[in-house]
Amino acid sequence: MRNLTLLTDLYQLTMLNGYFEKNVHEDLVVFDMFFRKNACNGGYTIVCGIEQFVDYINNLHFSDDDLEYLKSLNLFSDRFLAFLKDFKFTGDIYSVSEGTIMFPNEPIITVKAPLYQAQLIETALLTIINFQSLIATKASRVCFAAQGDPVFEFGLRRAQGPDAGTYGARAAVIGGCNATANVLAGKLFDIPVVGTHAHSWVQKFDTELDAFQAYADVYPSKCLLLVDTYNVLNSGIPNAIKVFNNLSEKGYKPLGIRLDSGDLKYLSTEAKRMLDDAGFKNLSITASNDLDEYTIASLKSEGAAINSWGVGTKLITSAESPSLGGVYKLAASYKNDILVPKIKISENPEKINNPGYKKVVRIYNKENKAEADLIMLHDEHIDSSKPLSVFHPIYTWKSMIFENYNIRELQQPLFINGKCKHIKKPVLEIRDYVQTELNTLWDAYRRLSNPKDYKIDLSEKLWILKASLLDAKISYK
């Protein structure tokens, strides 16, 4: 397990040093991690990366080498560095389960800890959760467009480095992909791996037919051929059919073909016609080549004969929307054991945070469809046997009353008094949970373009608290 303690911005450490020098470093505080806009310009975001965040917290310590490096910066006193030598996380962390669907401004992770501990973990928390949540959400959208067809993650060679390729593959499978081409990710996370051969395999042999036959000789029971090295319809498919006939005579069933260039709609439908005429029906026709959810949706609507998809660059980089803007904001501080809510006021209204120590409750109808989320103060409770009235936090005249509903508190303990409460789950189990979560959403929230906005309300008590702080113009920018 890697020590990522120095995976932080320098200003986190200079603030820690300042808190230490001013003797406020042990003050108990509450921070929230949330995002202001859904990933991929969509209607929801899948939270991913919790497992790696837990590993980070469990291994959080300053090594002798770390301290020597910090000393070399000539920014920190020997007394402060000696203090860091015994650093250990001792606070509480509450988090939604990995794979939970979340929406803007909702606390995903809440940290209640001494100030110096809560401050240090900001940067690592954000880089871990932001990236994997982005890719999991992108993968979910791609799989939604594929309408049940298998989707394979092919992005390693185009990822922004080994970690992005590997953890991105993990996130893509959590988001719904069936497998990855990344062998290291397969080993680390026990997820299925897929792959056949490249164009270079075909080029290496004297003829395309020789290349196909050689591959079939080595992998007779797993023969899927890349047919677009020279000419798909004039040579690729005819040569594939010859090899498939040879395999059939030996008692093997070919898997199919892959297309990686050209007019995928035209080529796939013509290839299927040729394969069907040759007696090879219901084979896999896999497409790749810079696909994303919009291209796949278009190809599906045009009637392309593609039934599995290899998605690389635009998935692993979330090319159209390459970042999730998750943030980590101070929401409260304790003074003499009394909680003092904190708010950041901005000229941009969307940057004004919700103050106080909070939780999120999801409201479901009797058909288990998610109807709205309610952000509440942590000590508030809902009696679900009674009608529940909620209102829009900005357009307050917009309100609704729920009856015959169920509720679920989304955050659960991740660490209590520094002790890990997290139970590790296999990636494929998390993927199943994601699908369960997605099934609670109406299709209007899952549209690829112009999705309906999900209802996110504040409890009356939290709304009054926020309004009072705004009216008092308390600002800690």
Structure tokens at 472: 């008092």
Buried (b) or exposed (e) across 93-132, using 16+ Cβ within 10 A?
A: bbbbbbbbbbbbbbbbbbbbbbbbbbbbbbbbbbbbbbbb
Record the tokens describing residue 363, joined without a space: 């409201």
CATH code of 136-316, in short, is 3.20.20.70
Q: What pLDDT digit, counting tens, does each position of 427-463 carry?
A: 999 999 999 999 999 999 999 999 999 999 999 999 9
Structure tokens at 441: 């959403």
Percent of the chain whose predicted confidence (pLDDT) is above 90:
94
- The separation between CA 168 and the C-alpha centre of its own chain, rounded to angstroms, equals 8
Whether 471 has a pLDDT exceeding 60, the answer reads yes
Q: Alpha-carbon distance 252 to 245, whole Å?
A: 9
Q: Hey, what long-range contacts does 473-476 have (CB within 8 A, 24 or more apart)?
A: 473/345, 474/343, 474/345, 475/343, 475/344, 475/345, 476/330, 476/342, 476/343, 476/344
pLDDT in the model for residue 64? 97
Q: What is the pTM of this model?
A: 0.96
- 275, 284 Cβ separation under 8 angstroms: no
Average pLDDT value for the chain: 96
Residue 400: left if φ>0, alpha if ψ -120 to 50, beta else—which one? beta
pLDDT at residue 423 greater than cutoff 50? yes
182-219 confidence digits (pLDDT tens) = 999 999 999 999 999 999 999 999 999 999 999 999 99
What was the pLDDT predicted at 181?
98
Average pLDDT of 121-145?
Answer: 98
Pairwise CA distance, residues 463 & 218, whole Å: 66
The rounded distance, in Å, linking the Cα atoms of 370 and 361 is 11
Write out pLDDT tens, residues 389-400: 999 888 888 899
Residue-level pLDDT at 473: 65
What's the CA gap between 268 and 272, in Å, rounded? 6
* Lookup: tokens for 269: 């439908």
Spans of all domains in the chain: 10-134+325-358+411-457, 136-316
Contacts of 4 (CB under 8 A, 6+ apart): 56, 59, 124
Could you tell me which of 122, 111, 115, 141 has the C-alpha nearest to residue 32? 111
What span, in angstroms and rounded, lies between the C-alpha atoms of 461 and 459? Answer: 5
- Look at residues 412, 406, 414 and name the one whose alpha carbon lies nearest to residue 440: 406
Give the CATH number of domain 10-134+325-358+411-457; options: 3.90.226.10, 3.60.15.10, 3.40.50.1110, 3.20.140.10.
3.20.140.10
Q: Could you give the count of Cα atoms lying within 13 Å of 64 in the half-sphere of its Cβ?
A: 0
- pLDDT for the residue 472: 84
Measured between its terminal Cα atoms, the distance across the chain in Å is 36
- CA separation for the pair 43, 193 (Å, rounded): 30
Task: Measure the CA–CA gap between 234 and 255, rounded to whole angstroms.
Answer: 21
Q: Report residue 467's pLDDT band, with 50, 70 and 90 as the boundaries.
A: very high
Count the residues in the chain. Answer: 477
The whole-number average pLDDT for the span 119-127 is 98
Least confident of 113-122, 284-293, 369-378, 392-401: 392-401
Query: Is residue 123's pLDDT more than 70?
Result: yes
User: Computed from CA positions of residues 286, 289, 292, 293, in that sequence, does the dihedral angle turn out positive or negative?
Assistant: negative
Tens digit of each residue's pLDDT (9 = 90 or more) over 276-324: 999 999 999 999 999 999 999 999 999 999 999 999 999 999 999 999 9
- The full 3-state SS of the chain, as one line of letters, equals CCCCCCCCCHHHHHHHHHHHHCCCCCCEEEEEEEECCCHHHCCCEECCCHHHHHHHHHCCCCCHHHHHHHHHCCCCCHHHHHHHHCCCCCCEEEEECCCCEECCCCCCEEEEEEHHHHHHCHHHHHHHHHHHHHHHHHHHHHHHHHCCCCEEECCHHHCCCHHHHHHHHHHHHHHCCCEECCHHHHHHHCCCECCCCCHHHHHHCCCHHHHHHHHHHHCCCCCEEECCCCCHHHHHHHHHHHHHHHHHHCCCCCCEEEECCCCHHHHHHHHHHHHHHCCCCCCEEEECCCCCHHHHHHHHHCCCCCCEEEECHHHHCCCCCCCCCEEEEEEEEEECCEEEECCCCCCCHHHCCCCCCEEEEEEECCCCCEEEEEEEECCCCCCCCCCEEEECCCCCCCEEEECCCEEEECEEEEEECCEECCCCCCHHHHHHHHHHHHHCCCHHHCCCCCCCCCCEEECHHHHHHHHHHHHCCCCCC
Cβ–Cβ under 8 Å, residues 363 and 370? yes
